[in-house]
Chains A and B, each alone.
Chain A
Amino acid sequence: MLTEELVDLSRLQFAVTALYHFLFVPLTLGLAFILVIMELTYVITDRPIYKDMVRFWGKLFGINFALGVTTGITMEFQFGTNWAYYSHYVGDIFGAPLAIEGLMAFFLESTFIGLFFFGWDRLNKWKHFMVTVLMAVGSNLSALWILIANGWMQNPLGAEFSYVTMRMEMTDFWSIVFNPVAQAKFVHTVSAGYVTASLFVLGISSYYLLKGRDLDFARRSFRIAAGFGFASALSVIVLGDESGYTIGESQQTKMAAIEAMWETEPAPAGFTVFALPNETEMRNDYALHIPYVLGLIGTRSLTETMPGIKEIKERNRERIENGIQAVTALERLRKHRDDAAARAAFEASKADLGFGLLLKKYTVDVSQATPEMIQQAVDDTIPRVAPLFWSFRLMVALGFAFLLLFGFALFYSVKGNFIEKKWLLRWALWFIPMPWIAAELGWVVAEYGRQPWTIYGVLPTHISVSNLTPGNIYGSLAGFVGFYTVLLIVEMVLMTKYARQGPASLGTGKYHGEIAAGGALPAGAVADKI
C-alpha cells in the first residue's frame, strides 16, 4: 500500500545517500585538475618540489577516492529497490547515460587512478602526466553522464510515452545528451568541484603558512590554488547564472519558488534579496528587491515577463484538466488498443498525461475528480517556497564569498606578500568546509525544487516509488546512515592526520619534522608510496 510516509521515506533515503555521496565527489572532481596543473609544472620545470606536491595532494585525493567510491552505487541500486516503477517507466532513457558513465567514464577514471598511484617508478614523467590528465578527464566525464541523466529528470527531452509498452521511450539520443539543462548543470557542478578542491588546498596550505612550516611547499600550493580557485569561483557564478537562465526556460515553477515570486511582475522582474515568504497567504510579509536583475538572469531580456506562482498554478490547472482527458483515453486504449477515438483523444492530450497522473494521489478514477481534488493537485505542483528561497540565497552568498576570498588570495599572491596576511590565511583555513555546504544546498535547490515530480511534468513522485513497507526503509536508512557516517569519520580522521603531517608523510626527508630529526624519516613513512 502506498502511503505518504512511504513516499517521504523513499525520498529521504535517496536524499540522504545522495548528499553523503556528494561529500566525496566535488573534491575528486577538482583535485584531479589541480594535480594536472602541479604535474604539468613539474614536467616543464623538472623541479622535484612540484613532484612532491603532486604526490602529497595526490595522497589526499587517494584517501577521498578510496573512501568515496561505492557510495554512488547505493543510489543506482535504489533506482531498482525504492523506485522500481520509475525505473520501468523511464529506465530505457535514464539507464542509458548511467550505463555509459559506468562503462566509459568510471572505468577510465579508475584505471588511471591505479596508474597514477603505482606508476611513478614505471612511467616516465610525460607518460605519468598523461595518466593524471586522463584520470582528471575520466572523473569529469563521469560527472557529465550522471548530470545528463539528472538533467533529463529536470527537462525531459528526446522521449515520448508509448501507450503500447506503457512507458517512456527514447526518440532522440542526442537531444538528451545536448539537453541545455544538463549541459548547464554539468559546467556549474564541476566548477563547484574545482572551487571545493581549490579551497581545500588553499586552506591546508594556509595552515602550514600560519604554523611557519614547509613554507616553500605551502607557498607554491597556495598560489596554484588561488589562481585556479579564482577562475573556478568566477565560472561557478557565471555558469550558475546560465543554469538560472535554462531553469527559467524549462522550469519556471522552480524559479518562481526560488524567488518567492507570487505574482507575475512587469518585465524585467526584480530580484528579491531578502523576504519572509508567507505560503499560506501566498505573499511575502517583507521583501527587499533589486530592480531588473531577475528578469535579466531568467530571460536575458528587458521585455519578457517571468510568470509568478499564481499564474503558474492557473496554467497547471488547465494542464491537469487536459491531463484528465489523457489518463481517461489511456485507460480506454488499454482495454481496446484499436479504439481510434481513444487514440485520437490520447494523442491530443498526451503532453499533459503527467499532470493528469497527479490526481491519482487523490482518486482512482480521475474522470470523477472533484474541484477540491483538482485544487489539491494544483497546489501540489508548487514545491514549498521557504526551503528553496533560503537554500538558494545561502548558496549564492557563499559563492560570492568564495570569489572574494580567492580574489584576495590571487591579488596578494601576485603582490607576493600573502604570507603576511594572517587574516587571509585564517579565513582560508576556516572556510574549508563551506564549499561542501554550498554544493549540498545547490542539490537541495535542484532536487527539492523539482517536486512533486521525479521526471518534471511527466511522472509524479508518488507513482514512482516501489511498494515497500516503511519498516524496510527505516531499517535500510539506518544502515546506510550508520555505514556512511563511519566512512565519513574515517575520511576525516585520515585527512586530518595526513594534512597535519604534511609533505613529511612522503618520507623524502626534506620536510617539517624530518629535517628537525636530522634527516631521519618518521616511522612508517618509507613504505608509503602515495
Chain B
Amino acid sequence: MNKHLPPFLQHPLAREIALAIVIKLAVIVAIFFAFFDGQSVSTDAEAVADRLANPSQHPIH
C-alpha cells in the first residue's frame, strides 16, 4: 500500500504527522463551520460606513 503514497509519506512517522495535522485542521474548520457559517458580513464601503455610523444597530446578514 505504501508504494502508492507520495515519497514524503513513505516514512511511518511522516504519515503520523500528516494525519495529525489533517485531523487538527479538520476539527478547527468544523468548529468554525458549525458556529459561524451563514454569519458573513457585507464589507463593501457602504456597509462599513453604516457600521461606523451606527454600530449597535447593524443587522446580521
Chain A residues, CB < 8 A from B8: 114
- CB neighbours of A114 from chain B (8 A): 8, 14
Main secondary structure of the interface of B (DSSP, over half): helix
The answer to whether the Cβ of A411 comes within 8 Å of any Cβ in the partner chain is no
In the complex, are the beta carbons of A66 and B21 less than 8 A apart?
yes
Roughly how many angstroms separate A327 CA and B49 CA in the complex, as a whole number? 11
CB neighbours (8 Å) of A167 from chain B are 45, 48
Docked CA distance A67–B24 (Å) = 9
10 closest Cβ pairs, A-B complex: A88-B43, A476-B35, A479-B31, A81-B36, A84-B41, A166-B45, A70-B24, A166-B49, A467-B60, A472-B35
B6 is an interface residue with CB less than 8 A from chain A: no
Complex CA distance for A334 and B45, rounded to whole angstroms: 10
Extra inter-chain contacts (11) besides given A66-B17, A364-B57, A466-B41, CB under 8 Å: A70-B24, A81-B36, A85-B41, A88-B48, A167-B45, A360-B54, A361-B56, A462-B55, A468-B36, A472-B36, A475-B35
Q: Does A136 contact B (CB under 8 A)?
A: no
Could you tell me the dominant secondary structure of chain A's interface residues? helix
In the complex, chain B residues whose CB is within 8 Å of the CB of A331: 53
Chain B residues with CB under 8 A of A89: 48
Report the nearest B residue to A110, measured CB to CB.
B21
B13 at the interface (CB under 8 A from A): yes
When C-beta atoms are compared, the residue in chain B nearest to A472 turns out to be: B35
A88: chain B residues within 8 A (beta carbon): 43, 48
Taken residue by residue from 427 to 466, chain A's Cβ proximity to chain B (1 for < 8 Å, 0 otherwise) reads as: 0000000000000000000000000000000000011001
Nearest-neighbour CB distance to chain B for A59, whole angstroms, equals 10
Q: Count of A-B contacts with CB under 8 A?
A: 105
Are the CB atoms of B48 and A480 closer together than 8 Å?
Answer: no
A81 to B41, CA, bound (A): 9
Considering only CB atoms, which chain B residue lies closest to A486 in the complex? B27
A527 located at the interface, meaning its Cβ lies under 8 Å from any Cβ of chain B in the complex? yes
Nearest B residue to A167 via CB reads: B48
Give the CA-CA distance A166 to B39 in the complex, in Å. 22
Contact between B28 and A70, CB atoms less than 8 A apart? yes
Chain A residues, CB < 8 A from B39: 81, 466-468, 472
B5: CB under 8 A from chain A?
Answer: no
17 contacts between A and B (CB under 8 A): A1-B57, A2-B56, A66-B17, A73-B28, A74-B28, A84-B40, A88-B48, A114-B14, A166-B45, A166-B49, A166-B52, A361-B56, A364-B53, A466-B41, A479-B31, A483-B31, A487-B24
Residue of B nearest to A360 (CB): B55
Query: Number of contacting residues on A, CB 8 A?
Result: 49
A61 to chain B, nearest CB (A): 13
**Chain A contacts of B31 at CB under 8 A?**
476, 479-480, 483
| CB atoms of A476 and B11 under 8 A apart | no
CA distance A483 to B25 in the complex (A): 11
Tally of contact residues, B, Cβ under 8 A: 36
Q: Chain A residues near B54 (CB, 8 Å)?
A: 360, 364
B34 → chain A, closest Cβ, in Å? 7
Alpha-carbon gap, A81 to B38, bound state (A): 10
Chain A residues, Cβ within 8 Å of B60? 467-469
Q: Do residues A476 and B21 form an inter-chain contact, with CB atoms below 8 A? A: no
Closest chain A residue to B32 by CB distance?
A77
Interface membership of A530, Cβ < 8 A: yes
| Bound: A33/B37 CA distance, A | 41
Distance A69 CA – B18 CA, assembled complex (angstroms): 11
A85–B43 Cα distance when bound, in Å, is: 7
Q: Residues of B contacting A498 with CB < 8 Å?
A: none
- A381, CB-defined interface residue at 8 Å: no
Q: Please tell me which one of the listed residues B21, B25, B35, B59 contacts residue A479 in the complex, with CB atoms under 8 A apart.
A: B35
Q: Is A87 an interface residue (CB 8 A)?
A: yes
CA distance A117 to B43 in the complex (A): 44
A417 interface hit (Cβ, 8 Å): no
Interface contact B34-A334, CB-CB below 8 Å: no
Please indicate the chain B residues that have their CB under 8 angstroms from the CB of A468 in the complex. 36, 39, 60
Q: Contacts A2-B58, A70-B24, A364-B53 given; indicate if A476 touches B13 (C-beta within 8 A).
A: no
Question: CA A77 – CA B25 in complex, angstroms?
Answer: 12
Q: Within the complex, what minimum Cβ distance (angstroms) separates A349 from chain B?
A: 15
Query: In chain B, what residue has the closest Cβ to A82?
Result: B36
Shortest Cβ distance from residue B10 to the other chain A in the assembled complex, whole angstroms: 9
* A108-B21 Cα distance, complex, nearest whole Å: 17
Q: Chain B residues with Cβ under 8 A from A479's Cβ?
A: 31, 34-35
B56 contacts A1, C-beta separation under 8 Å = yes
* A475 & B34 in contact (Cβ 8 Å cutoff): yes
User: Which A residue's beta carbon lies closest to that of B60?
Assistant: A467
Given contacts A70-B25, A167-B48, A527-B12, contact A476 B56 (CB under 8 A): no
